[in-house]
Amino acid sequence: MPCFTAIQLNILTVLLFFCFWAPIARSLPDNSGSIRLPSDGFTNADENEGVSARFNKPSSCPVNCFRTEPVCGVNGVTYWCGRADALCAGTRVAKVGFCEVGSGGSASFPGQALLLVHIVWLVLLGFSVLAGFYNDPEFANVDSSENESILPFKGTILRTKSGNISSPVEEPCVSCTTFNILAPIYKRLDQQNQSVRESDFRAFWLARNERIVDWLLYESSSIICLQEFWVGNEELVHMFEERLSAAGYKTFKLARTNNRGDGLLTAIHQDYFKVLNYRELLFNDCGDRVAQLLHVKSVVPFSINQNNCVEQEILIVNTHLLFPHDSSLSIARLHQVYQILLYLETYQQENKLTQMPVILCGDWNGSKRGHVYKFLRSQGFVSSYDIAHECSDREADADKWISHRNHRGNICGVDFIWLRNPNKSRKPLKISWAEAAFGIIKFQLQKASLAENDAFAFLRADNSVDHITYSAFCDALRQVNLTGLSYGLSFQDTKDLWVQADFDGNGVLDYEEFKRIWNSTWSDHMDEDCSSDDSNEGNEEETVGFTVKNAALFPREVEKGIWPENYSLSDHARLTAVFSPVRLRCPRRSP
């Protein structure tokens, strides 16, 4: 409800008094010389006749009237309340309409007419005042910097009259929002005293989070994925769950391990999806990170062809990766993504699921230049925002948009909604993971100013041989902080990498095998659509995937690489993507 000021309430009270308690205009005797206010006394029959056929005085005089139907009496007076008004005055109607200028009816301007004018302008004033209520920033209950973001603009999402985000094209769509809402236990209020956090001030964190829910309900996305959700505060959890539930959402929350205080919240709108299964993935690593997996089915069937509709199933993941405090943590973040994708594969195999789209949402704590981004691209995933805005993987497009300003003041794009359709070709997960890990090894060696030949010598360790042994390989990884730490490669990870690198399986890596690792490029990944040649028709099946219709970041300035200083909802921007179902032909795969 809007919050009215005392002045606004007083004005509204006066308006209501004049509009509803002011006396209704009445007709006066003919000799008053007054202009009459309108009534319903004049009929179509009178208009057709042109004059009053009979002189029958109405049973009730004077006549009450609100709608103008002027007639001219035989005495030259205009009667504004119609035929009945003239009869009350004891005169006949000479014609329909005003009397000629100079007649008695035009001689003066009566109080009733003035009253009508006052009522009209008071009503108009009332509408103006009411309009002012809804333009009040307090009514919007959001940051002023976000007010502009609700307007449609080229390349972003449009809103319906109800406020729901939608595609510009009238077709069934699925919308998804991801938002790191900055847990109050992490929000610093005083840069000089880092220990002062928002969580110490209930009024602050409650008001900010209520505004966050306002925006989420305004957008009404089919899927909502939140990170840094303050699961440790029962009041905040209850507020989110109660309001989202009342709006038709089913919510799932998951705390980070070791009582970190924050976690994840995923909300699925029950008008769009039915939740078939919910799983929790605990990484149990140095960052105590977690992930949620939801298996959902569309409530409204999607059309595959003219004769077949399906209730499409989708796999949704919500996660928040480890923050890269230094480059040695890159391998831990990459391993978290590897675990998510491995878990997805295992879940589909165990449940004998057919091919379906996968949507990954969250704060990935890494930009488009990072190893995580390249790893996901190698697995057939596309960034919904980059697809919607035609941003490529090239370096020139790496900084076109941002979504986060961290506590150090650095800005970058780290929030993504990834989509993988079932018709996307991709390398086997273990091979793709090995290539990504070798990419990090190469990066660490290059940081130490080692070129290709020097890197081979470093890994070889023993200058008396022309190959790399497994023990020398492990020692080298330890020296660049990729093993031997709680967040580094495990023994099994290292062993798997060695198996992938030892192409001929002879137990050592020669220079040619090393070059194969060193020169491995991310451009080799396969992300083209599967063939739809008629020759393969017998081995294909039709399914439903998604195409990215639109995507937008809020506040709008971040889409231009600018972080607005007056934005205070979070230290992250909110990302929303809209997907439209599309028919796909895919090769049959074993579940």
Q: What is the CATH number of the domain that holds 308?
A: 3.60.10.10
Measured in degrees and rounded to the nearest 5, phi and psi for residue 75 equal: -90, 5
In this prediction the pTM is: 0.70
**Is it the case that residue 448 has pLDDT exceeding 60?**
yes
In three-state secondary structure terms, 208 is helix
Q: What is the pLDDT of residues 199-226, one digit of tens each?
A: 999 999 999 999 999 999 999 999 999 9
Which H or E run contains 144? Answer: helix 144-147
Question: Quick check: is 139 in a domain?
Answer: no
CA distance 432 to 359: 19
User: Which residue carries 């119609």 as its tokens?
Assistant: 82
**Is it the case that residue 577 has pLDDT exceeding 90?**
yes
194 and 167 co-located in one domain = yes
Q: What is the pLDDT of residues 498-555, one digit of tens each?
A: 988 888 889 999 998 898 888 875 434 443 443 333 444 556 667 788 999 999 999 9
530 and 517 co-located in one domain = no
Listed in sequence order, the residues at least 6 apart from 513 whose beta carbon sits closer than 8 Å to its beta carbon are 501, 502, 503, 504
Q: According to the model, what pLDDT value does residue 369 have?
A: 87
Q: What is the pLDDT of residues 12-61, one digit of tens each?
A: 555 555 554 444 334 444 443 333 333 333 333 333 333 344 456 666 67
Q: Among residues 180, 302, 184, which one has the least CA distance to residue 580?
A: 302
347 and 483 co-located in one domain = no
Handedness of CA 421, 427, 431, 435 (dihedral sign): negative
Which H or E run contains 212? Answer: helix 202-219
CA distance 52 to 56: 10
Listed in sequence order, the residues at least 6 apart from 248 whose beta carbon sits closer than 8 Å to its beta carbon are 269, 270, 271
Size (the chain), residues = 591
Domain finish residue from 493, 508, 524: 524
**Is it the case that residue 380 has pLDDT exceeding 90?**
yes
Q: Among residues 576, 575, 565, which one has the least CA distance to residue 143?
A: 565
Q: According to the model, what pLDDT value does residue 341 have?
A: 96
Radius of gyration of the chain (CA): 36
How many angstroms separate the first and last alpha carbons of the chain? 52
How many CB atoms are closer than 10 A to CB 442?
17
CA distance 382 to 391: 11
434: amino acid identity, one letter: A
Question: Quick check: is 434 in a domain?
Answer: no
Q: What is the CATH number of the domain that holds 511?
A: 1.10.238.10
Question: Quick check: is 571 in a domain?
Answer: yes
Give DSSP secondary structure letters for 491-547.
HHHHHHHHHHH-TT-SSSB-HHHHHHHHT--GGG---SBPP--GGGGGGEEEEEEEE
In three-state secondary structure terms, 547 is strand
**Is it the case that residue 85 has pLDDT exceeding 70?**
yes
CB of 25 within 8 A of CB of 115?
yes
Q: How many separate domains does the chain show?
A: 3
CB of 440 within 8 A of CB of 483?
no
Domain finish residue from 507, 524, 541: 524
Q: What is the pLDDT of residues 234-291, one digit of tens each?
A: 999 999 999 999 999 999 999 999 999 999 999 999 999 999 999 999 998 888 999 9
Query: Which value, to the nearest 10 degrees, does the dihedral of the CA atoms of residues 199, 201, 204, 206 take?
Result: 70
Question: Quick check: is 137 in a domain?
Answer: no
Domain finish residue from 508, 524, 540: 524
The pair of three-digit structure tokens given for residue 228, joined into one six-digit string: 């840094």
35: amino acid identity, one letter: I
In three-state secondary structure terms, 318 is strand
The pair of three-digit structure tokens given for residue 24, joined into one six-digit string: 């209704």
Query: Which value, to the nearest 10 degrees, does the dihedral of the CA atoms of residues 266, 269, 270, 274 take?
Result: -50
CA distance 205 to 230: 10
Question: Quick check: is 221 in a domain?
Answer: yes
90 and 171 co-located in one domain = no
Q: Which residues on neighbouring strands pair with residue 547, listed in sequence order?
A: 580
Q: What is the pLDDT of residues 319-330, one digit of tens each?
A: 999 987 776 788
Question: Quick check: is 442 in a domain?
Answer: no
CA distance 581 to 585: 13
Q: According to the model, what pLDDT value does residue 130 have?
A: 55
126 and 154 co-located in one domain = no
In the 8-state DSSP scheme, what is residue 310? E
Listed in sequence order, the residues at least 6 apart from 503 whose beta carbon sits closer than 8 Å to its beta carbon are 513, 516
499 and 547 co-located in one domain = no
503 and 515 co-located in one domain = yes
Percent of the chain exceeding pLDDT 90 equals 40
CA distance 499 to 503: 7
Measured in degrees and rounded to the nearest 5, phi and psi for residue 292 equal: -115, 140
Q: What is the pLDDT of residues 275-312, one digit of tens each?
A: 999 999 999 888 899 999 999 999 987 766 666 677 78
204 and 349 co-located in one domain = yes
Q: According to the model, what pLDDT value does residue 10 have?
A: 55
Q: Among residues 318, 261, 327, 306, which one has the least CA distance to residue 288?
A: 261
- Domain, as residue range, for 97: 6-130
540 and 519 co-located in one domain = no
CB of 265 within 8 A of CB of 226?
yes
Listed in sequence order, the residues at least 6 apart from 318 whose beta carbon sits closer than 8 Å to its beta carbon are 178, 225, 226, 227, 264, 266, 291, 292, 294, 361, 362
Reported as a pLDDT band with limits 50, 70 and 90, residue 409 is confident
81 and 121 co-located in one domain = yes
CA atoms within 13 A of residue 539's CA, in its CB half-sphere:
9
Question: Quick check: is 505 in a domain?
Answer: yes
235 and 367 co-located in one domain = yes
Question: Quick check: is 533 in a domain?
Answer: yes
**Is it the case that residue 138 has pLDDT exceeding 80?**
no
CA distance 549 to 313: 19
Residue 575 or residue 22, greater confidence: 575
Q: Are strands 93-96 and 71-73 parallel, antiparallel or unpaired?
A: antiparallel
In the 8-state DSSP scheme, what is residue 106? G
Measured in degrees and rounded to the nearest 5, phi and psi for residue 456 equal: -65, -40
420 and 453 co-located in one domain = no
Which H or E run contains 71? Answer: strand 71-73
